[in-house]
Structure 1
């Protein structure tokens, strides 16, 4: 339906021109034009457009907008900065901060508060949201009457505590007297569209005209010519090696990808996103169980684009992860599933979805009603996989390196495998291409002062960013002391990048290295044990200004390492347990305790 301009401040000739123009515009032209109008300087000169005040009561908006983000992988930070640009483009005063960077007591001075936060672990806030989160939930939290707020929360619906941090903050702000500017929006892994809908709705509540894009015209053009999450670069695989030796229980791949001509830049600590594809064999198994025709075409987006069902299940939809929301949605197509959900509690549902995939679901709760397109429309998109970058761009100008552990296991009578990791291991050869983009991570970065000591702690593939750190320090000839704690199963078969660490030790780029190979001794030894064995020296490094980095498994390794650090601080600093917690929290606030955990 074409736009008809009638009730407006334009004269009849202008109305006729607009009504002839708008039906001819493409969607991208409309976005460009809306961004241009939103960002253009307006005046009274001949030939310019005189803007009419569209705010409520024709009174200019004077309230300041504060955007606070809690970000673990960088998604929320990127969104917050994008939203800041959009709001500034419609002439709002906006301040964008990490939750760690606002003084907690100043929260009561905020006027319009927008929170963008993720959740990780067992419903925990991101590291850079902890201080504000704890303050708001403490007895010291002030009254927030007069503050208006809205929350955008990112999460993963396959986890029990989906978007819990956002839910907690939304509830607590209301309890403290703040008024809700717009209802909280909870986003799954495919968050881009609901996030944009949220910011458009917020703009309307702020008294601004909602447009399809408020970005300046130049920003829209830039997106079409640069590679990003929305426009990934197809990087050629230059190398694909198995880092583990003969007899290892693991398979860890070292990938080198060609970035030549992409214009992509990254820093040590950033991550590389890969858009993976499902195993074709699993797709065929699903088609066989459901007796669906793989050549049937199905829509795959709101624009009506269609693919064959086989291709859609291979490259678009997540068929390997079950979640409670998915079971609830698909129950409308299965009477037996609907009955089962009614008879079982939340714990039973979580127990069922763990380790199962879509093949299990459609097999266990057959028969299924409705059309193929009805079922497919309920599936979420395949999540992007993020991997810590294992190289320095200064040392490898046209390349990016990754360290990926192939995930294979058996559950419920069937062999299972990681979607992206096994794609890289088994179905990606030299010369093939992977769609990639860089995910910036400002929460895991080398110190600005080049001579600062660093302590790097990681197990398995968690050692990847430290390879990038040392490549960078070698290339820039930084002289700061460095200490690596590395853990794996066996010295002979699992010492990832062994010759490189030894070379850096010999050259002085790496000052110290302590290793823990858990399966080589009768009593298992892990990186946290090596930390405790070096308790006094670790504390001396901390007192000397060292930055501490932790990368790897969050559930076990990262928690055990944190407990070890607290024990070291308490013992060597003669602190109470509470004082040790405060000490470590202060390190985190100073960016001297950084974690990249998953």
Structure 2
């Protein structure tokens, strides 16, 4: 609509200027402009009411100024949510906001009622659970002590994995609960899958736009999900991995073992990458060429056909795209829903329809893209249309099993090869089998360091530590021992290790025995489940030493658990509560509170998966 003197409050010159300007504005500029004008009017009204109150001697309520203080709380298990939160804080500070960035476990819940602008960045762990450092805040916000938050404006960014049933559940929980308590959304919640960089950047830009509108300020350049490296930092990161050379690749298991555990030594020379014990190494793996060949053969596609793989217009051959860029070994609900839209197969469309959630979940479990292609063909679609529904290959995180002090310019990993049979086909882990079968010394792999502040050695080197890590869960504890040996730390240390057989599966046996002999490792208890008639696990060894273990806890020991979450970590957690209950002569409730308090003090840390 053209503005005219007759249909607007503007004079001829103003109307002509606006008619030239308005068609050139983008949608975001129009939104900003409307917010700016609303804020200006609000300020003008406030100033007028103040003048009127002064002139008449009456007291009138002035409009409340919009707060430029922003609190960012993160709940993070592996460090992704923490990194995004810290980057968001830097971006907002650059826009003139006063920002507080805090782990949920470090934030005093009673302070929540004072917060005006709240950003939540949180991952979902396991089967829809909050990460360890978000548990206490999650309980508070959903409990009876949670305050009314009528003055709060908030937004939630949730991280998850769409292959899990309860995708981004923790973020959804926070978003819903903050609304129930009276909060108003600054910007709608964004749920991110494993490839979170772009949606996280879009969320941050949306939050910025909303904050700037309310304060009447001009929005600045686009935000990104990752901060630019600071002086002295490596240029290599999750979005720009370093191509690292493999120096060694050794099978740690003896002949006749049911397992294959690879010890990888990787060069970081020239990368500028550094790490601390407890950090992880991210690897971008490649799919098994046999699986890619089978997919192309089934679809009858030309492997050399060029396809576009992302929004930036990057192109690759179809073979390279399926081999290195896209995930083909995991099925997700969103993938099947999009596949059903491409397919004319009635069975697939029925499977993804409402009311068939249980059947869909059952189908997805243990199947891959080749199963999907075979079960619901033929596929009358172009390769470009088909790959557009695939998820980008996610990196795999592995706990680092070395100390940089002990191994300058190197990083070591301990990777268990994953092989199993499901639905009539042999299956292989993507990264673990690349390491076991196709990675030779001299080869290079794309890597980056994932810092994990939630799994760290105590600052005081005299603090006792208790480490529980069966199988490959022992990896970070090798880095702990190397570090303590290099620094001469005096604190006591106790390792609980378990695996199947003493003879074939005692990972790094000679190293542990040397550390015990030299006094670097104070105590070691082992459990080899297949060597005894009755299976014995690490939690059984802990119970056998319950009195001494509780004494260590009373002395201030930090407990670390690394490995399988669903079974081992769950059993060890319950065992710790039982030991505290028994040896501390406490009720179950008090024992649980004791362990929760340890977690709050960062004396109970878990790296579980």
Quick check: TM above 0.5?
Answer: yes
CA distance in structure 2 between the partners assigned to 1:152 and 1:196 by the alignment: 10
The correspondence for 1:374, drawn from 367, 376, 385, is 385
The match for 2:237 is 228
The question of whether the paired residues in 1 share the 8 Å contact of 2:205 and 2:223 is answered with no
CA distance in structure 2 between the partners assigned to 1:352 and 1:562 by the alignment: 32
The correspondence for 1:202, drawn from 193, 201, 207, is 207
The match for 1:259 is 268
The correspondence for 1:189, drawn from 181, 185, 194, is 194
CA distance in structure 1 between the partners assigned to 2:582 and 2:566 by the alignment: 25
* Alpha carbons of structure 1 residues 385 and 54: separation in structure 2 relative to 1, 3 Å: farther
The match for 1:433 is 444
The correspondence for 1:346, drawn from 357, 363, 377, is 357
The correspondence for 2:132, drawn from 107, 124, 127, is 127
The match for 2:316 is 307
CA drift at 1:343: 7.6
CA drift at 1:274: 0.3
State the SS of the aligned residue for 1:153.
strand
State the SS of the aligned residue for 1:342.
coil
CA distance in structure 1 between the partners assigned to 2:538 and 2:428 by the alignment: 27
Q: Can you list the C-alpha shifts for 1:311-347, whole angstroms capped at 9, x where unaligned?
A: 0000000000001111111111112211332386211
The correspondence for 1:587, drawn from 583, 591, 598, is 598
* Alpha carbons of structure 1 residues 117 and 476: separation in structure 2 relative to 1, 3 Å: same
State the SS of the aligned residue for 1:68.
strand
CA drift at 1:468: 0.1
The match for 1:448 is 459
CA distance in structure 2 between the partners assigned to 1:324 and 1:282 by the alignment: 21
* Alpha carbons of structure 1 residues 476 and 87: separation in structure 2 relative to 1, 3 Å: same
The question of whether the paired residues in 2 share the 8 Å contact of 1:182 and 1:201 is answered with yes
The question of whether the paired residues in 1 share the 8 Å contact of 2:283 and 2:396 is answered with yes
The match for 2:115 is 110
2:99 maps to 1:99? no
The match for 1:75 is 80
CA distance in structure 2 between the partners assigned to 1:341 and 1:189 by the alignment: 22
2:342 maps to 1:359? no
Q: Can you list the C-alpha shifts for 1:54-89, whole angstroms capped at 9, x where unaligned?
A: 994296863310000000000000000011000011
CA drift at 1:261: 1.2
Structure of higher CA gyration radius: 2
The question of whether the paired residues in 1 share the 8 Å contact of 2:264 and 2:414 is answered with yes
The correspondence for 1:416, drawn from 385, 404, 427, is 427
The aligned runs of 1:280-299 (5 Å cut-off) are: 280-299=289-308
* Alpha carbons of structure 1 residues 274 and 209: separation in structure 2 relative to 1, 3 Å: farther
The question of whether the paired residues in 2 share the 8 Å contact of 1:61 and 1:92 is answered with no
The match for 1:396 is 407
The question of whether the paired residues in 2 share the 8 Å contact of 1:501 and 1:510 is answered with yes
CA distance in structure 2 between the partners assigned to 1:105 and 1:359 by the alignment: 52
2:453 maps to 1:470? no
The question of whether the paired residues in 2 share the 8 Å contact of 1:236 and 1:434 is answered with yes
The question of whether the paired residues in 1 share the 8 Å contact of 2:292 and 2:323 is answered with yes
Gaps of 5+ in 1: 1-52
CA distance in structure 1 between the partners assigned to 2:130 and 2:519 by the alignment: 38
The match for 1:175 is 180
2:549 maps to 1:538? yes
The question of whether the paired residues in 1 share the 8 Å contact of 2:157 and 2:171 is answered with yes
Corresponding residue pairs, total:
545
CA drift at 1:260: 1.1
The match for 1:479 is 490
Instruction: Tell me the TM-score normalized by structure 2.
Output: 0.87
The question of whether the paired residues in 2 share the 8 Å contact of 1:54 and 1:209 is answered with no
Q: Can you list the C-alpha shifts for 1:241-285, whole angstroms capped at 9, x where unaligned?
A: 000001000000000001111111000000000011101110010
The question of whether the paired residues in 2 share the 8 Å contact of 1:87 and 1:214 is answered with no
The match for 2:398 is 387
Instruction: Tell me the TM-score normalized by structure 1.
Output: 0.89
The match for 2:14 is none
CA distance in structure 2 between the partners assigned to 1:400 and 1:318 by the alignment: 26
The question of whether the paired residues in 1 share the 8 Å contact of 2:233 and 2:272 is answered with no
2:522 maps to 1:511? yes
* Alpha carbons of structure 1 residues 106 and 276: separation in structure 2 relative to 1, 3 Å: same
Q: Can you list the C-alpha shifts for 1:23-53, whole angstroms capped at 9, x where unaligned?
A: xxxxxxxxxxxxxxxxxxxxxxxxxxxxxx9
* Alpha carbons of structure 1 residues 174 and 297: separation in structure 2 relative to 1, 3 Å: same
CA distance in structure 2 between the partners assigned to 1:254 and 1:589 by the alignment: 34
CA drift at 1:93: 0.7
The match for 1:324 is 333
CA drift at 1:472: 0.2
Gaps of 5+ in 2: 1-35, 44-64
CA distance in structure 1 between the partners assigned to 2:146 and 2:173 by the alignment: 14
* Alpha carbons of structure 1 residues 218 and 292: separation in structure 2 relative to 1, 3 Å: closer
